[in-house]
Amino acid sequence: MIGLQWGDEGKGKIVDYLAGGFDAVGRFSGGSNAGHTVVIGRRKHTFHLLPSGALKGKELLIGAGVTVDPVVLRDELSLLRADLRSRLMVDARCSLVTPQDKELDRSLERMRGASSIGTTKRGIGPSYALRALRLSPRVSDLVDGFDYASLSELYRRLSVDPAGLIVWADESRELLGRLSGDVGARVVDIDEKGGSALFEGSQGTLLDLIHGSYPYVTSTHTLASYIPAGLGIPPSLAGKSMGVAKAYTTRVGGGPFPTEIEGPVAEKLRSLGNEYGATTGRPRRVGWLDLVALKYAVRLNGISELALTKVDVLSQVGEFKACVAYQHEGSESSDFQSALSHLPDVEPVYDSPFNLRGGTYGHRLSTDGRKLVDYLEAQLKTEVKLVSYGEERSKTIEL
């Protein structure tokens, strides 16, 4: 399950909805920067590290490509029933987020000043950077022993106090020792026994470290092509990917956002859509659907099936606009990749193919929903398989 925009597309809800059909659910990248919200009845659950299928009683897998904050892990596990807790495996190769990584994240953001990325301050960037420097402790290191002296020295050189590192490690060792395993091998095993697993991306395509709106991106790979790498399974096992897109666009944090809007429509989208960061509580920036960016995301991920979310929110706004090209220095282009270098300066070219009426939803698609689905299928040459019209699990239509 891959997010096709700047994150917060509603992956958590869709994963929870589909999880029933799988033996296991898991994550393959990112960390506790993610905020995946699942609503069941009146109860709202936000997971930062646990896979969104956690509440379905499935086997839970955290693959090697995820960076694990053991403090967050402990907190989230404590919310689960004991029988569900024992169904989690964390790959021994996962890097860990230390308290110092979080401090470093805050200090790097301060250093950037006005051009700060607007990170979630969960220590994600520093943790992945230390992994690349070969200084990050992994789950297995915590269990088997690690050279904390080098890491402490590095933190000192970066003006971060390493105090507490050993205590932190001592407090996490027992839990991680119990959960640690080989997720790649487990996925192969599930497959060989005829089973299946669902993996949810974190963040979205446009936040990918390499293919997103760099430097305003996260520190990991968010694309479908990273699923096998992040898990440690052969690419041939990865199966197909479903893309999740919101009927409009949001972004939290800094960076270019061509279809961003302000004013009454923006306020309406934000309040009706509850567009506040699930991890940080920050108001999300909002804007119209961006088909230029979405086409790029569909191509990068090889998406043939789409889940469309928050159709009800857009419906209530009444108006519908979709950006079909970017204008820059007198010429028009619908190639996102070539626009990346000057994204802050492009002007969106909008198509307003119809107005929306705000009709009610039941188990069938409303008139508005039908118009949107037909339009998106024609524009993106992709089949819309699921439409979500509310945050509860039940407010989902299968097409």
Residues serving a catalytic function are 8, 36
CB of 76 to ligand IMP, least distance (A): 15
Q: What residues have CB less than 8 Å from 276, skipping those under 6 apart?
A: 270, 282, 283, 284
3-class SS at 164? Answer: coil
CB of 128 to ligand IMP, least distance (A): 9
Round the CA-based radius of gyration of the chain to a whole number and report it: 21
Residue 253 binding: pick among ligand IMP, Mg ion, none (C-beta 5-8 Å cut-off by kind): ligand IMP
Residue 203 binding: pick among ligand IMP, Mg ion, none (C-beta 5-8 Å cut-off by kind): ligand IMP
CB of 268 to Mg ion, least distance (A): 20
Q: Does 218 bind ligand IMP (CB under 6 A)?
A: yes
What amino acid occupies position 228? Answer: P
203: alpha, beta or left? (left if phi > 0; alpha if psi -120 to 50)? left
Three-state SS annotation for 185-226: HHHHHHHHCCCCEEEECCCCHHHCCCCCCCCCCCCCCCCCCH
- Binding flags for ligand IMP, 182-201, as an x/- string (CB under 6 A): --------------------
CB of 226 to ligand IMP, least distance (A): 15
CB of 202 to ligand IMP, least distance (A): 6
CB of 306 to ligand IMP, least distance (A): 19
Phi, psi of 199 (to 5 degrees): -115, 130
Which of 122, 138, 321, 385 touches ligand IMP (CB under 6 A)?
Answer: 122
Token digits of residue 26: 């898991």
Which of 67, 98, 120, 180 touches ligand IMP (CB under 6 A)?
Answer: 120
Residue 88, CB-side half-sphere exposure with 13 Å CA sphere: 27
Site for ligand IMP in 21-50 (CB under 6 A): 33-35
Site for ligand IMP in 237-256 (CB under 6 A): 252-253
Q: Does 382 bind ligand IMP (CB under 6 A)?
A: no
Contact region with ligand IMP (CB under 6 A), list: 117-125, 236-244, 342-350, 370-378: 117-125
Query: Toward ligand IMP, which CB reaches closer, 35 or 258?
Result: 35
189 vs 336: CA distance, rounded Å: 39
Q: Report the alpha-carbon angle 116-122-127, nearest 5.
A: 95
Q: Does 35 bind Mg ion (CB under 5 A)?
A: yes
Contact assessment for residue 119 and residue 110, using Cβ atoms and an 8 Å cutoff: no
Residue 76 binding: pick among Mg ion, ligand IMP, none (C-beta 5-8 Å cut-off by kind): none
For the chain, what's the residue count?
399
Q: Report the alpha-carbon angle 99-137-86, nearest 5.
A: 85
Contact region with Mg ion (CB under 5 A), list: 8-16, 143-151, 329-337, 359-367: 8-16
CB of 185 to ligand IMP, least distance (A): 28
Q: How many CB atoms lie within 10 A of CB 235?
A: 9
111 vs 159: CA distance, rounded Å: 13
Which of 278, 291, 303, 322 touches Mg ion (CB under 5 A)?
Answer: 278
Contact region with ligand IMP (CB under 6 A), list: 39-47, 120-128, 142-150, 371-379: 120-128
Which of 73, 124, 142, 206 touches ligand IMP (CB under 6 A)?
Answer: 124
Query: Toward Mg ion, which CB reaches closer, 12 or 184?
Result: 12
Alpha helices in the chain (DSSP H): 11-18, 70-78, 82-85, 99-112, 124-132, 139-144, 148-157, 165-179, 183-192, 226-231, 264-272, 291-301, 311-317, 336-339, 367-380
Which of 3, 8, 233, 293 touches Mg ion (CB under 5 A)?
Answer: 8
Which of 8, 76, 101, 103 touches ligand IMP (CB under 6 A)?
Answer: 8
Count residues contacting ligand IMP (CB under 6 A)? 19
Q: Closest by alpha carbon to 394, among 20, 100, 102, 119? A: 20
Dihedral Cα 208, 214, 218, 219, nearest 10 deg: 90
* Chain residues that interact with ligand IMP, rule: CB under 6 A: 7-8, 33-35, 117-120, 122, 124-125, 202-203, 207, 218-219, 252-253
Residue ranges that bind Mg ion, judged by CB under 5 A: 8, 35, 278
